[in-house]
């Protein structure tokens, strides 16, 4: 059972602690600009909520048959707080237990969570953008309004941008820290052999 | 022969040279880089808000400076069919008076609220000259929030000038009248007619106005006024004309005396008398109208008492200072030391010194009295006279560099002079016949300077002609250098009298974007489509209607009869900036209403004939604005059509869930 270096234990603890920010700051953001909205309309995705100009975005989207965005649309908001808590706990435990297999497991868990979140977001976006009210006032043949998972996309008169918010960046840093620590551990132990 | 030719040539040359001697019209064009100085590129903002009185249109208009672009017309004392002000049930009480509903007034002057003598950007006050009133307008919502009628006044011209910390707004009567509606002979003027100056206390938090006291004065006309500031804080200065006490053909009979008065009022002294209970409570009748942004409604209360301090019985409140020939403007410079009197028929312009006035009072340097009020010796109060300033001086504004700018109505020019040395520094023509003028922050302790704006009475040939009634205008001059330079002409609505300009930075960030729907306390609000309904109470039908892009709920209404009073209480459910909805109905003897996001407004309709009447949103709100409409069915009186209302319901089908 390989033990970890002190510096590795600290970076893993730091990686786990960074995730606590998810309870206080938004994780993801979607910003939309149109000729009539030069200041942009914002939507912030939190661990258990969605805030910003949601009502305005919903009011505009109803013309093209998109549903009203409601917190209740996202069962994720019910359990995400527990998943993130589990990941934080696992990270702290890794630092305490001080075993490389734990580090590997933590890194895998973190990457799996991130991937799952993006896949989940894509699936929601696909449904939200494709599953349109057939009685909508404006129907553009062949047009779907799936928001970009990450990056920028033109949707009729709107330019939509999707990307991490501050909390999301902390998640990314946490992931990079975990991967870097794992690589560091693997390389430094090989040299010793 | 040769001589004859020479002679002929000489005659022709002489004729041309005489023609050449004919004076040229004055140079009237802007020069140099004027265009770039007033050009505000698309998408950029002006540097100042210019809040301009509309005179006989009873409104305020808001312009951007330096571009001169009209941004908004803001109704104050006049009905405004464009947005339903004075037509909606909520705003009708704003124009209530002791004489009933008065739909119009003549708005002459504005005063932006100040703290410590400097603009604070909270409110602007305005006077109603005809049916005496003072209004308070919010610079957050750009709406009229309060109107107070002034009792014992014959016309509110000398108003709404304010003290340093907006403690008081002033309302001085233009015409003296018999008090208490007494039925007396007009020729009994000297005996029965009295003047009245109201000190309106302003609540420092809410801005609410109430008349703290009135000064009862001798009967003559009060024209304009200014509060002291700095060392002269606690005093107020009024110009008086018609000290001849004429009651007919005033243009001759009120212009006889060599000097009229500037009336200096020690209002701190008046406050002392008031605290000592020296005021007399008189029975009067006046309306006090307040608009609430919570209930989105105005309430009008009739008040019945006012406290009067009689200056003939209470010494040391008032002193008269002789001032040449029917003074119009009386303006106090930024230091508070100098008071400029503009005798509109006089050849010189006196500047009085506050220190000298105080010394004259202390040393009793009086030349006599008027109805028992001491008249200070002219020379004892005088700092000096501006010699040959121009013809018809009316008003004076100040920059922050010790200079004064006086408008000359008759000679149609602005004259710049030094307040201390009284030396004339520059003069520029105006087109034509300037009345008021404004330097941004001009009446404050720290003028913002940079420009002077002229508000002209005549435009004549300056714009494309539009029949007998021509536009009014303003002109913008650069005063940053030694010489004033004309930059821009811009047309104005109504007739501009006084105006103030304030840096955009003091207003812009506070501007309200919409009303929060959850804070709407209107008794007839429908704060969601689920609350939309129709209720009948005898002959009254109340429609609780909602408006959101792009439908009205309910949009099908039946069961209403000829002879009913139909109240459409329309709540705009939008919570986004710049999404008002409008409401109008065919044949209504009413104007439309405009409803701002989060607001409720009520449209009263009295159907006079049977049929189905369309109604619709009048403010282009969305791509489906044209679809934002509905029908109301009107049955004959006595016919019992069942009361029905809906939106999105098609008879015999399941509802489609309107709009979602």
- Inter-chain CB proximity B549 and A56 less than 8 Å: no
**Interface residue ranges in chain B relative to chain A, Cβ cutoff 8 Å:** 548-550, 574-576, 622-624, 627, 656, 659-660
**CB spacing of B624 vs A68 below 8 angstroms:** no
pLDDT in tens, B145-182: 999 999 999 999 999 999 999 999 999 999 999 998 89
Residues in chain A with CB shorter than 8 Å from the CB of B656 are: 135
* Alpha-carbon distance values, B551 to A59, B278, B332, B520, B592 (Å): 12, 62, 56, 20, 17
| Positive or negative torsion for Cα B516, B519, B520, B526 | positive
Radius of gyration (C-alpha) of chain A in whole angstroms:
20
The answer, for A68 touching chain B at a CB cutoff of 8 Å, is yes
CA distance B341 to B238: 10
Nearest CA in chain B to A36: B578
User: Domain range spanning residue A125?
Assistant: 6-188
Asked if B549 lies within 8 A of A59 by C-beta distance, the reply is: yes
pLDDT over 70, % of chain B: 94
Phi-psi region of B279 (alpha: psi -120 to 50; beta: other; left: phi over 0): beta
Burial of B449 (0-12, 13-18, 19+ CB in 10 A): middle
**Inter-chain touch A137–B623, beta carbons under 8 Å:** yes
Q: For residues A60 and A160, what is the distance between their CA atoms, to the nearest angstrom?
A: 14
Residue of A nearest to B624 (CA): A137
Nearest to B607 by CA among B637, B630, B583: B637
Other Cβ atoms closer than 10 A to B70: 16
Cα(B175)–Cα(B193) distance, integer angstroms = 9
> Which chain A positions have a beta carbon within 8 Å of B624's beta carbon?
63, 137
Q: Is the pLDDT of residue B277 over 90?
A: yes
B227 with B162: CB under 8 angstroms?
A: yes
The residue ranges of DSSP E strands in B129-234, in sequence order, are 133-138, 143-149, 156-158, 168-173, 177-178, 193-202, 209-218, 221-227
Based on the structure, what is the number of domains in chain A? 1
Identify whether B509 is preceded by a cis peptide bond (ω within 30 of 0).
no
Q: Are B242 and B327 in contact (CB under 8 A)?
A: no
Instruction: State the nearest Cα–Cα gap between B660 and chain A, in angstroms.
Output: 6
CA–CA dist B247, B187 (Å, integer): 7
A59·B660 Cβ contact <8 A: no
Measuring CA to CA, how many Å separate B614 from each of B88, B330, B340, B628, B656? 19, 56, 61, 11, 22
How near does any CA of chain B get to the CA of A38, in Å?
11
pLDDT at B660: 37
Residue at token pair 């609000």? B525
- The residue ranges of every structural domain in chain B are 49-180+189-246+255-510, 527-646
Q: Give CA–CA dist B247/A60, Å, rounded.
A: 66
pLDDT digits (tens, 9 = 90+) for B409-464: 999 999 999 999 999 999 999 999 999 999 999 999 999 999 999 999 999 999 99
Query: Do residues B266 and B274 make contact, with C-beta atoms less than 8 angstroms apart?
Result: no
| Residues of chain A found within 8 Å of residue B574, distances taken between Cβ atoms | 59
The class level of CATH for B527-646 reads: mainly beta
At A95, which CATH number?
Answer: 1.20.140
Of B203, B189, B188, nearest to B148 by C-alpha is B203
The pLDDT of residue B659 is above 70? no
- Strand B209-218 to B297-310 pairing: parallel
Cβ neighbour number for residue B491 with a 10 Å cutoff: 14
How far is it, in rounded angstroms, from Cα A46 to Cα A22?
Answer: 7
Round to whole Å and give the CA distance between A78 and B203: 50
How far apart CA B485 and CA B497 sit, in angstroms, is 22
Count CA atoms closer than 13 A to B145's CA, side-chain side.
18
B-chain CB neighbours of A63 within 8 Å are 622-624
Higher pLDDT, B28 or B650: B650
The token duo for B316 is: 């040391």
Half-sphere exposure of A22 (CA within 13 A, CB side): 26
Question: Are B623 and A59 in contact (CB < 8 Å)?
Answer: no
- Three-state DSSP class for A175? helix
Within a domain: A193: no
Q: Provide, rounded to the nearest whole percent, the portion of chain A with pLDDT above 70.
A: 98
State the pairing for strand pair A50-52/A37-45: antiparallel
Question: What pLDDT is attached to residue B4?
Answer: 63
Q: What is the mean pLDDT of residues A88-116?
A: 94
Measured from the Cβ of residue A80, the count of other Cβ atoms closer than 10 Å reads 19
Burial of B609 (0-12, 13-18, 19+ CB in 10 A): exposed
Domains B49-180+189-246+255-510 and B527-646 share a fold: no
Are residues B660 and A63, on separate chains, in Cβ contact within 8 Å?
no
In angstroms, the separation between the Cα of residue B508 and the nearest Cα of chain A is 16
Cβ-defined contact of B624 to A56 (cutoff 8 Å): no
Which residues from chain B sit within 8 angstroms of residue A53, using beta carbons? Answer: 576
What was the pLDDT predicted at B9?
62
Query: Does residue B544 contact residue B557 with C-beta atoms inside 8 Å?
Result: no
Q: Comparing B346 with B292, which gets the higher pLDDT?
A: B292
Q: How far is CA B220 from CA B106, B246, B261, in A?
A: 21, 8, 10
Nearest one of B430, B429, B426, B408 to B417, comparing CA atoms: B426
pLDDT for position B13: 57
Please tell me if residue A63 touches chain B, with a CB cutoff of 8 Å: yes
d(Cα A157, Cα B67) in Å, to the nearest integer?
A: 32
Q: What is the pLDDT of residue B14?
A: 57
Question: For B358-385, what is the mean pLDDT?
Answer: 96
Do the interacting molecules here have an ipTM over 0.85? no
With cut-offs at 50, 70 and 90, classify the pLDDT of residue B27.
low
What are the distances in angstroms from CA B135 to CA B109, B123, B344? 11, 10, 28
Q: Which residues contact A39 (CB under 8 A, 6 or more apart)?
A: none
From the list A55, A62, A67, the residue facing B659 with the nearest CB is: A62
Q: Which two tokens stand for residue B23?
A: 């004076």
Cβ of B549 and A68 within 8 Å?
no
pLDDT of residue B344: 84
- Inter-chain residue contact B548 with A138, CB threshold 8 Å: no
- How far A61 CA lies from chain B's nearest CA (Å)? 9
What pLDDT digit, counting tens, does each position of B376-416 carry? 999 999 999 999 999 999 999 999 999 999 999 999 999 99
Cβ distance B624 to A59 less than 8 Å, yes or no, reads no
Q: Transcribe A52-97 into DSSP letters.
A: ESHHHHHHHHGGGTPPPP-GGG-THHHHHHHHHHHHHHHHHHHHHH
- The reported pLDDT for the residue numbered B257 is 81
Q: DSSP string spanning B231-250? A: GGTTEEEEEEE-TT---S-H
Q: Which residue from A47, A49, A48 is spatially nearest to A22, judged by alpha carbons?
A: A47
- Look at residue B384 and give its three-state secondary structure: strand
Instruction: Give yes or no for A35 touching B (CB within 8 A).
Output: no
Read off the pLDDT band of B623 (50, 70, 90).
confident
Whether the CB-CB separation of B148 and B134 falls below 8 Å is answered with yes
Considering the four listed CATH numbers 2.40.30.10, 2.130.10.10, 1.10.10.10, 2.30.30.30, the one that applies to the domain covering B49-180+189-246+255-510 is 2.130.10.10
Q: Is B559 left (phi over 0), alpha (psi -120 to 50) or beta?
A: left
CA distance B175 to B194: 9
Mean pLDDT of the B504-508 span: 97
Tokens of A69: 């965005």
Any chain B CB within 8 A of the CB of A40?
A: no
Q: What percent of chain B has pLDDT over 90?
A: 89
Q: Choose among A55, A63, A67: nearest Cβ to B575.
A: A55
Task: List pLDDT tens digits, range B238-268.
Answer: 999 999 999 999 888 888 888 899 999 999 9
Q: Which is nearest to A22 in space by CA: A81, A108, A105, A110?
A: A81
The pLDDT assigned to B10 comes to 61
Residue B657 pLDDT: 46
Query: Does residue A1 form part of some domain?
Result: no
pLDDT tens profile B548-567: 999 999 999 999 999 999 99
Among A59, A69, A138, pick the best mutation site for testing chain B contact (most B Cβ within 10 A).
Answer: A59
């Amino acid at each position: 059972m390989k033990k970890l270096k002190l510096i590795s234990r600290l970076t893993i603890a730091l990686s786990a602690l960074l995730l606590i920010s998810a309870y206080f700051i938004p994780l993801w953001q979607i910003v939309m600009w149109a000729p009539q909205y030069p200041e942009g309309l914002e939507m912030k995705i939190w661990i258990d909520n969605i805030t910003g100009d949601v009502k305005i975005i919903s009011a505009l989207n109803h013309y093209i048959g998109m549903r009203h965005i409601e917190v209740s649309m996202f069962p994720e908001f019910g359990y995400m707080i527990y998943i993130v808590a589990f990941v934080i706990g696992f990270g702290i435990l890794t630092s305490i237990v001080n075993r490389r297999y734990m580090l590997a497991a933590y890194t895998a868990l973190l990457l799996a969570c991130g991937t799952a979140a993006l896949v989940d977001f894509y699936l929601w976006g696909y449904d939200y953008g494709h599953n349109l009210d057939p009685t909508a006032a404006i129907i553009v043949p062949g047009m779907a309004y799936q928001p970009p998972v990450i990056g920028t996309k033109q949707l009729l008169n709107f330019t939509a941008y999707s990307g991490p918010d501050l909390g999301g960046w902390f998640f990314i840093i946490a992931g990079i820290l975990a991967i870097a620590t794992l690589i560091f551990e693997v390389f430094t132990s090989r040299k010793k052999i | 022969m040769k001589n004859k030719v020479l002679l002929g040539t000489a005659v022709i040359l002489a004729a041309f040279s005489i023609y050449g001697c004919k004076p040229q019209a004055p140079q009237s064009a802007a020069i140099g880089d004027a265009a770039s100085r007033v050009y505000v590129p698309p998408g950029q903002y002006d540097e100042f808000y210019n809040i301009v009185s509309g005179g006989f249109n009873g409104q305020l208009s808001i312009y951007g400076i330096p571009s001169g672009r009209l941004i908004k017309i803001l109704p104050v004392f006049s009905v405004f069919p464009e947005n339903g002000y004075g037509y909606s049930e909520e705003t009708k009480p704003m124009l209530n008076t002791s004489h009933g509903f008065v739909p119009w007034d003549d708005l002459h002057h504005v005063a932006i609220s100040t703290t410590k003598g400097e603009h604070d950007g909270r409110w602007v006050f305005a006077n109603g000259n005809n049916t005496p009133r003072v209004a308070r307008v919010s610079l957050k919502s750009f709406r009229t929030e309060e109107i107070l009628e002034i009792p014992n006044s014959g016309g509110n011209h000398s108003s709404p000038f304010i003290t340093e910390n907006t403690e008081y707004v002033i309302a001085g009567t233009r015409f003296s009248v018999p008090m208490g509606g007494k039925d007396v002979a007009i020729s009994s003027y000297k005996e029965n007619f009295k003047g009245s100056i109201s000190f309106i206390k302003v609540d420092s938090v809410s801005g609410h106005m109430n008349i703290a006291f009135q000064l009862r004065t001798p009967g003559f006309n009060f024209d304009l006024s200014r509060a002291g500031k700095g060392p002269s804080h606690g005093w107020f200065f009024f110009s008086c004309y018609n000290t001849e006490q004429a009651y007919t053909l005033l243009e001759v009979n009120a212009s006889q005396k060599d000097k009229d008065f500037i009336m200096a009022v020690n209002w701190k002294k008046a406050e002392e008398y008031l605290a000592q209970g020296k005021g007399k409570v008189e029975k009067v009748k006046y309306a006090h109208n307040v608009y609430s942004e919570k209930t989105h409604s105005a309430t009008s209360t009739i008040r019945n008492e006012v406290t009067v301090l009689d200056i003939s019985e209470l010494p040391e409140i008032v002193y008269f200072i002789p001032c040449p020939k029917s003074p119009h403007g009386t303006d106090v410079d930024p230091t508070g030391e100098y008071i400029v009197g503009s005798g509109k028929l006089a050849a010189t312009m006196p500047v009085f010194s506050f220190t000298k006035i105080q010394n004259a009072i202390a040393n009793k340097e009086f030349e006599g009295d008027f109805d028992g009020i001491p008249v200070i010796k002219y020379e004892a109060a005088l700092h000096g006279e501006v010699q040959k300033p121009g013809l018809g001086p009316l008003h004076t504004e100040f920059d922050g560099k010790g200079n004064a700018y006086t408008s000359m109505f008759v000679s149609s020019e602005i004259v710049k002079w030094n307040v201390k040395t009284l030396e004339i520094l520059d003069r520029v023509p105006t087109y034509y016949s300037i009345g008021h003028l404004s330097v941004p922050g001009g009446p404050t302790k720290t003028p913002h300077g940079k420009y002077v704006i002229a508000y002209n009475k005549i435009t004549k040939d300056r714009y494309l002609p539009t029949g007998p009634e021509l536009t009014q205008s303003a002109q913008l001059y650069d005063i940053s250098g030694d010489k004033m330079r004309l930059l821009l002409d811009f047309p104005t609505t109504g007739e501009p009298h006084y105006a103030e300009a304030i840096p955009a930075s003091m207003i812009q960030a506070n501007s309200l974007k919409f009303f929060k729907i959850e804070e709407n306390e209107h008794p007839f609000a429908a704060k969601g489509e689920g609350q939309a309904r129709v209720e009948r109470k005898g002959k009254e039908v109340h429609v609780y209607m909602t408006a959101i892009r792009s439908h009205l709920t309910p949009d099908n209404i039946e069961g209403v009869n000829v002879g009913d009073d139909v109240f459409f209480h329309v709540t705009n459910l939008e919570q986004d900036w710049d999404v008002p909805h409008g409401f109008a109905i065919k044949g209504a003897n009413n104007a439309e209403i405009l409803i701002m996001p989060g607001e409720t407004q009520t449209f009263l309709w009295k159907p006079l004939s049977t049929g189905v009447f369309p109604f619709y949103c009048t403010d282009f709100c969305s791509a489906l604005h044209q679809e934002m409409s509905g029908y109301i069915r009107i049955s004959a009186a006595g016919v019992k059509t069942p009361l029905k209302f809906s939106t999105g319901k098609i008879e015999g089908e399941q509802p489609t869930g309107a709009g979602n």
